[in-house]
Every structure is written in C-alpha cells, then in structure tokens.
Amino acid sequence: MIRKDNTSLTVYNGMETLRIEAWGKGIRVRCVPVGEIPEHTWALDSEPPCENISVGDDLVECAGIRCEISEGRLSFIRLSDNTVLLEEPKYQWALHRRAREMHPLAGSSFSAEVYFKAYENEKLYGMGQYRDAALDQKGRVLELAPRNSQISVPFLLSSRGYGFLWNDPSIGMASFAENTTKWHTESTSCIDYWVTCGDTPKDIITNYSDVIGRPSPLPSDLMGLWQCKLRYRTQDEVLSVAREYKKRGITPDVIVIDFFHWDYQGDWSFDRKYWPDPAAMVSELRDMGIRVMVSVWPTVDPRSENYREFADNGYLIRTNRGMNTTMDFYGKMYFFDSTNPYARKRGYEILKENYVKAGIDLFWLDEAEPEYSVYDYDHYRQFIGSTLETGNFYSRCHAQMLYDGQKADGQESILNLIRCAWVGSSRYGALVWSGDIESTFEQMKIQLRNGMNMGIAGIPWWISDTGGFYDGNIDDPMFRELLIRWFQWAVYMPVLRMHGDRQPNLGSLVKDADHGGGFCPSGAGNEIWSYGEEVCGILTKYIHIRESLKPYIERTADEAVQSGIPMMRAMFIEFPDDMTCYETDDQYMFGSDYLVAPVTEYGARGRRVYLPEGKWKYNGGIISSKGEYITADAPLDVMPVFERIYDE
C-alpha cells in the first residue's frame, strides 16, 4: 500500500513501513518493521519551509535532490546533473541481506543496520570528536556514544556533494569501510536519517543548520582570555589571581571556579567556609571587568541537601538492575536526569537561588555525558527511555536546562561551557570543550582535527584545554613549549581558555577531610606567570593579538549564527575546488581571512604550510601562491598565520 500527501510518500509492505519526506532542503527517511512511524523529531526540530516539492509513487523531490525507491532500494540523486550521490545496495539473495535490517527487541524497540554503497576516493568529514581523530573518516569505525573526551555528532559531509544526518540518539556504531558504509543502532524505535546536497560544502552545512537550528550568538564580552585551573580553592585565591592580572595590565573576560567549591556533590552551592561571601567576590570582579563562571556537576551524593527531593521525584537516572549507583567518584553517586523536563526546571531553580542571585550567570557543565563509572549503556534508564536508546540526547538536554532558565530570566548573553554535545546542542548556548586529554604534542594534533570535524558536524563553539588537561608539569621545558604552542593556537579558537590539572599537585587544604571545599586536591598554578618570564612574555603577546582580533572574531561568529558555517574551517570549506585542501588536516581557516598553521612538533622552529591559490600576507610581505607548499619560519614566539588578500 502507498500513501501520499503534499510532502511525503509512505510505503507499507510485509517487511516494513517506510516514509520518505521533504524536510527543509533535504529528504528525511524513516522506517519501522511494522505499524505507524513515531513522531520523534530528535535533532530535526527546526522545520524550515521545503522548496520545489514533487511526490510520486516511487519518488520524492525537494530543493535539488530526489529520493527514488526501486524494489525497496533507495537512491539519492542530485537533480542538477542527475548524479547518484548515495544509494543503498541491491538485495543480496545469497546472503539474505537487505539494505535495512531490523531485529525486534522487547516492546516496540529494535536493533538495526542500514547499509549504503561505498565509493572509491570518497572523503567523509564531521561526526564529532574522537580520541584518535582523523579529519577524513573514510576507513574508520566510530562508536556512536558519549564518553569523557568522545562526542558523537553523527553528521557527515561527503566530498561527493551530499550531507547525511543519522537522526537517532541511540547507542550504536558507524562504519565507513572500503566495501560498504554501515550505520548500526543497538536499540531504537525508528530508523531515521536525513540527506541533503549542495554545490559547495558551505551550501551543505547551511542546509544542515537550517534543519537542526542555528547556534546561539557568541557574546562579544566573552571573546578575550578565560582564566581557569584545577582548582581555585578559596574566594581569596580567586581575588588574588584577578588582582595580579590587573597589575600586569591584563583583564581576563572570565575567571572560572572549578569543582568541589561545594560541600557535597549535588548541593550546587558554595561551601561557605572557603567562599564566605560569593556576592561580594562577584561584585569586586565585575568592577574589574571580569565575569565569574562556576562548575556544576550532575552528580548527586546521598548526603547532599538535594538528594532526597531528587530521588523521591524521579529526577535521577536509575539503573535497570542491581544497586542504583551510576558513578563512583569520592563516593557512590547518582546522576541528575536532564532528560526530565521537571528535573531541568527544578535544577535551574536551585542554580538560580545559589549562584544567579550572587551575580553569577556563566556555568560550566562538567561530566555532561554523563560519565558513568561503567559504560554499560543497557544498564541505565533516563526519563525519556533506556539510555541504550536515547543516551546521546542527555548532553543536549543538559545544555537546554540552563539555556531555557536563563532565557526565561531575560538573560540576553547566554554561553555555558559543557563537556559533551549532540546534534543541535549549539542552539542552547553550548560552548563545547574536548574533555580530559593528555598534555602531549600528539594529542594537540588530534584536537586540531577534532575542532574542524566538530564545526562541520554543527558545533561551531568548540575549544580544548590549552596545553591539554593532565600530566603537564609547569617546570618541564617540553611542557612549557607545548603550552606556548597550544596557547598560540587557542588564540584562533572561538574562546581563549586556560585550563589543566598541572603538576606538581598541591594536595588538599585539610588533611584527612572527606568532603567539602577543603577535601579535593588542586593542581599547580596555571596562570600565565606560572611558567616563568619567557613563557609569560609570549603568552602576553598573544593575549594582545587576541584583543586586536576581537572585531574580526565578532564578525566571524555572527557568520556562524547566520549560516552555520563554523569559525574553525577545514581548508576545503573555503577552497572547495582545490583537491589538496581535502587532504590537509594540520591547518585550517579561521573564518574566511586567516589561514592558521599551528606548530605541533616539539622543538620545531618552522613548518610546512599549504597555501591555496591567491595572495597571502605574512611576516610583513605578500606571497602570491599558485597552490603550493612553503616552509614558514616559526620561532618559539611565532605561530604561522597567513592573512588572505582579496583582489579588488
């Protein structure tokens, strides 16, 4: 049986119910083994008008792309030149394998695999952030699951000219092999994906941001230095750091107060023994021109003042069997359930009472995967369903908790730091950082690729811990050089933020304490003067460079809000006709005007840079390139940055 309307074609047969639908400038496909298609929107909750729709008995056309169905097999065709961009394989009789395999589970859920043909020389970009990142995802197998420093944002941009969104927050796997592409879900109620096409990568990214929603604005007063470390332990310590910066003629935009400024996890308030007057502290810092951000964890200790209320009202993630513990970190913890709208409302009320009323309007949502002590996703259950089926959605809901509350309070400038994301998180003021990563040059290279892929996947506000998070000793010459090189790179990120667990560790304030602000250890100093005068001088130089770039950063950020085009752009986004740019993974465009070439080798005082065709300003001169490699000098106090010169 076939059912048609103005935008969709639904096919019912003995194997499945399949719906093909015009959706924005693309085609949405949904499929279930039997019955009606569920109405989850997931990431596709922004519905721009469709263009040039045509629905037939075996096709749906929209905005330059056609989806055809033939013997149950789907093909996606670009109308401008009738090119097949993506298609399912034919039914393999000998293997009894279909392009859409569905395997029933309990209730209405099922596991599934969706197969597409693989194409020779195709390159695939996006998909979020992974610990062993490559820019081109072809040949890779990626887990679709949130972990500390792993962020699944399942959108692909293909060098063949299409974009593909796996619109499913379930735990799964994506395989981009030479012989096939396979998407797998462990448990879902509906196969759901969306395909678009465009003449350029920018067109594809814009079409994608149309349907998932554009990022919220990057506030102009947060574009300077953010000062952070593990961890400021007292109110006096924070104020002394701020005063020292002012003495040196530098005003950080933000000072961040990290974890265990509370008594028990889940109190979501200051331990007044060490933070006696937060409102006075915030007021003094604001008089200096500095805003305060506080870390808020979703972990809830049974001893905390909010535990009983949250447990009794179903505001905590629960386990499916055994003890109802979800994390073990300085004790048995429970996770706040951000997928529950009632929990989100109550959670923000507590944050408002304990922080916002003291003048704090910036929050750091750490542990936002959430970070289960054991990643057995089938063991946990959220308000919206099994974590196996909805686990990737948590972090987006966590960002939404703050965004909705702050918006309702009339706050105009909303940006909150968060350690995880999913498709559409950028709509909710999410500044995503890459989590707890090693302080190594190798990890710096990996983070560079992650930043480009996160932007392609629709997360334009992305940063990493400058210098990496752990194993960085402030007296180690190699680490000092790494910090300099990472800081130089961070100047050309959406936000410039110092953070890390520096060594040697300072220990706890109170010996043998078992809770409270005096209990948790702290790392060594992480201010710009903590590394000696040479390092401080170079970092100060780059802070001033950042200040000079603010008008440009503001324009580039506005472009991301208007079109979805990220600030950190893989080279091919700006130069789609230059095939070398599709291979280049160690440099990027910061907006349209600056080519940024971070130095990612210890001891390097120069590096190879690819300059696309055109004129480039560098080191006081003009370089005319025909599309070629050059060697750029890079003494320790210089990172190669080339300004694009446009012919009039």
Q: What is the pLDDT of residues 80-131, one digit of tens each?
A: 999 999 999 998 888 888 999 999 998 889 999 999 999 999 999 999 999 9
The answer to the question of residue 334 being in a domain is: no
Expressed as residue numbers, the domain containing 582 is 568-645
Q: Which of 477, 514, 481 is nearest to 600 (CA)?
A: 481
Euclidean distance between the first and final Cα of the chain, in Å? 60
State whether 107 and 6 are in the same domain. Answer: yes
Q: How many domains does the chain have?
A: 3
- CA quadruple 318, 431, 45, 449: dihedral positive or negative? negative
In this prediction, residue 358 carries a pLDDT of: 98
- CA quadruple 470, 473, 478, 481: dihedral positive or negative? positive
Tell me the sheet residues that pair with 66.
61, 77
Which of the 8 DSSP states describes residue 531?
A: G
State whether 520 and 581 are in the same domain. Answer: no
Taking the model in full, what pTM does it have? 0.98
d(CA 149, CA 470): 13
The answer to the question of residue 43 being in a domain is: yes
State whether 589 and 626 are in the same domain. Answer: yes
In this prediction, residue 106 carries a pLDDT of: 84
State whether 170 and 202 are in the same domain. Answer: yes
d(CA 588, CA 648): 24
State whether 275 and 181 are in the same domain. Answer: no
Q: Which residue has the tokens 């990142």?
A: 133
State whether 517 and 426 are in the same domain. Answer: yes
Q: Which residues contact 638 (CB under 8 A, 6 or more apart)?
A: none
- CA quadruple 426, 430, 435, 441: dihedral positive or negative? positive
Q: Any idea what the CATH number is for the domain that residue 54 is in?
A: 2.60.40.1760
Q: What is the pLDDT of residues 286-316, one digit of tens each?
A: 999 999 999 999 999 999 999 999 999 999 9
The answer to the question of residue 538 being in a domain is: no
d(CA 360, CA 436): 25
State whether 236 and 207 are in the same domain. Answer: no
Q: Any idea what the CATH number is for the domain that residue 603 is in?
A: 2.60.40.1180
In this prediction, residue 648 carries a pLDDT of: 65
State whether 373 and 416 are in the same domain. Answer: yes
The answer to the question of residue 131 being in a domain is: no
**Residues designated catalytic:** 366, 369, 436
The answer to the question of residue 474 being in a domain is: no
The answer to the question of residue 476 being in a domain is: no
State whether 98 and 8 are in the same domain. Answer: yes
Regions in the chain scoring below 70 on pLDDT: 648
State whether 111 and 240 are in the same domain. Answer: no
State whether 114 and 52 are in the same domain. Answer: yes
- Cis preceding-peptide flag for 38 (omega within 30 of 0): no
The answer to the question of residue 139 being in a domain is: no
Tell me the sheet residues that pair with 497.
226
The answer to the question of residue 550 being in a domain is: no
Q: Which of 521, 507, 447, 437 is nearest to 472 (CA)?
A: 437
State whether 90 and 13 are in the same domain. Answer: yes
